[in-house]
Structure 1
């Protein structure tokens, strides 16, 4: 039986996909601070890594504006965030992080052409930056080009310096499902689970894949992790209901149906339950 929870966090599906890009940009903001400096010696000695003391005043101003922009972006104050980014770029036109962040802002605003331009500008500056690659991959996936997105997630995953592989793996799994490549989706999501076993989006998608191949015990395990972590919405509850129905646990099913009715009575999932659409 799947444990009943009373979380009030709703809409996790969209929010977690959003966070996959928003949080990745935060991990990449220091990238501009470790670029190699050119050698001054004629003998071609090894290049040194730049540190904060090597920054010009303009670069420091740009960095401050960029941090402010990220803060406003996280608060969904997109117009203010965009203005801060403009000032960051004005101070330092070569700040690649600013273009990746501006791409995310334009993406959230629905300005897809401008978003694409900025993501590509960032990638031209640093083609192998894993955060830029992940962000652009997610943009492609969300704008009708999921197959194209996979190569960018793979670029992110190849980087030894990437600090958030679970995000790119989950994104790759979700986007593989968009063009019905369930084998790839299973592979990516299973790997993501190894890095972050508590990610509700990863677990929800793994539950759905298990359910679709009639592995209901495994589906119960994954969807149980979603609900155990106090994260649920209509989609998660509906999956859990279908799992318990297949396993014949009528008490668990009834408990989950009560939650679905009480909290998401106007949802398409509850409508599906009412018409008995368990196999749609």
Structure 2
């Protein structure tokens, strides 16, 4: 079972401009191709459109297999009016080095691209253009489009092959990623509504503030998952920006909020951290089902609840 196809009069938005890996991820969501799609310059801007009701949902990168979580997305989702992750997509990542006509490798002193793309091509540049500096851009496609517009901040850009085709820039080198097989995980984020039904291969995302800093504070959070057999597939700390040492833990767990073990873990987490934020339960892109011990099954939780009730 998969999520229902998207259907809304409102447009979708994504981290633009056109041709980004993010747009490619969006087009993999059933129904997205038939809807209006509007690019946004930043993750915060994209989610602001969703929160204001100007867009139905926003597709954003949240995790990379090489660099880990994407801070801009994690922070934008975890703060502000509550939102929900509706869908996830995993996209293989391959990069090309592009430049306008007449520019050769010997002419390049600065390269524009997104910081994650630069991090994934460091080895190639170390071997081929060791003196080239990085000029950060909001996205790989934005850097390529800046070249087309005539920027003098850099002479070349790292982007997706699709962007090279769309812009007509020359490809100076292809397959420059340091880790063949790297992937980026994208999430489609919308406003709270009905949850996708459990599929048996689901993921739940949470933002859990650390209520106060004391010995065992993190353990009190983690044991809520461990004692119920809920596996964490990702955990990262992000500063709240309020004061030094104040953090939110961004967590992905295997399972759906309608699974008894996950629901019970959330009850325990709410006792420990009342400001916990539920960011959605949705089908996993890889469709991998978690291994669940018999005593953590829905039936085991039901039997335990019935046994306690019989004692009252």
TM over 0.5: no
| TM-score, normalised via structure 2 length | 0.27
| TM-score, normalised via structure 1 length | 0.30
User: Which has the higher relative contact order, 1 or 2, with Cα contacts under 8 A spaced 6 or more apart?
Assistant: 2
Write 1 or 2 for the structure with the bigger share of helix: 1
Write 1 or 2 for the structure with the bigger share of strand: 2
